[in-house]
């Protein structure tokens, strides 16, 4: 491809602004991916900007507060923006609804669905995305501690999240 790109069928010469494959430098558009700084940033990479990320994080993590009380919850809160970590303690006020602790995976998914005001199918996607984003930003020891505190069904979902 030593000749420049010439579109055929034009009335005049070369159309201004057209570039051929040999004239493109793909390195100009390359942006290296950096590791996410916190859970919201990792979640934004998975869900995009159309989703209310704060609401999704609160809806997914709030029903698990009782099960994760102590070090595991502290490890998750440390990976959240400071204002969201504070709100996680009083998620009932932020979500404007009483958050019920989940015991089984079915109850948990129903509660997340109720909190995000979406059907269970969408809530399941949110749960998988938050679990995977959390595992991406947490240390492996903290991720294992969280899995140990969850019920067997939820721990299987946590472990399967990628």
Reading the block at residue 131, the tokens are 């679990």
Q: Are 124 and 154 in contact (CB under 8 A)?
A: no
Residue 55: name the closest of 112, 98, 136, 119 by CA.
Answer: 112
Residue 62: name the closest of 93, 94, 99 by CA.
Answer: 99
pTM: 0.79
Residue 156, pLDDT above cutoff 80: yes
pLDDT at 14: 63
Residues of the chain with pLDDT > 90, as a percent, come to 69
In whole angstroms, what is the distance from residue 162 CA to residue 154 CA? 14
Residue 83: pLDDT band (50, 70, 90) is: very high
In tens, the pLDDT along 4-52 reads 666 666 566 666 666 666 666 666 566 667 788 899 999 998 998 889 9
pLDDT at 102: 86
Residue 79: name the closest of 37, 44, 49 by CA.
Answer: 37
pLDDT at 134: 95
Reading the block at residue 149, the tokens are 């505190």
Positive or negative, the CA dihedral 80, 84, 88, 94 is negative
Residue 143: pLDDT band (50, 70, 90) is: very high
């Amino acid at each position: 491809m030593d000749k420049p790109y010439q579109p055929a069928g034009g009335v005049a010469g070369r159309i201004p602004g057209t570039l051929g494959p040999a004239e493109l430098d793909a390195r100009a558009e390359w942006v290296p991916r950096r590791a996410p700084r916190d859970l919201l940033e990792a979640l934004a990479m998975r869900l995009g900007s159309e989703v209310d990320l704060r609401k999704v994080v609160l809806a997914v993590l709030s029903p698990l507060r009782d099960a994760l009380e102590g070090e595991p919850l502290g490890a998750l809160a440390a990976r959240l923006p400071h204002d969201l970590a504070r709100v996680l303690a009083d998620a009932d006020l932020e979500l404007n609804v009483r958050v019920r602790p989940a015991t089984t995976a079915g109850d948990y998914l129903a509660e997340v669905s109720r909190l995000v005001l979406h059907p269970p199918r969408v809530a399941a996607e949110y749960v998988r995305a938050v679990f995977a984003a959390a595992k991406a930003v947490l240390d492996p020891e903290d991720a294992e501690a969280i899995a140990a505190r969850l019920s067997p069904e939820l721990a299987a979902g946590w472990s399967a999240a990628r």
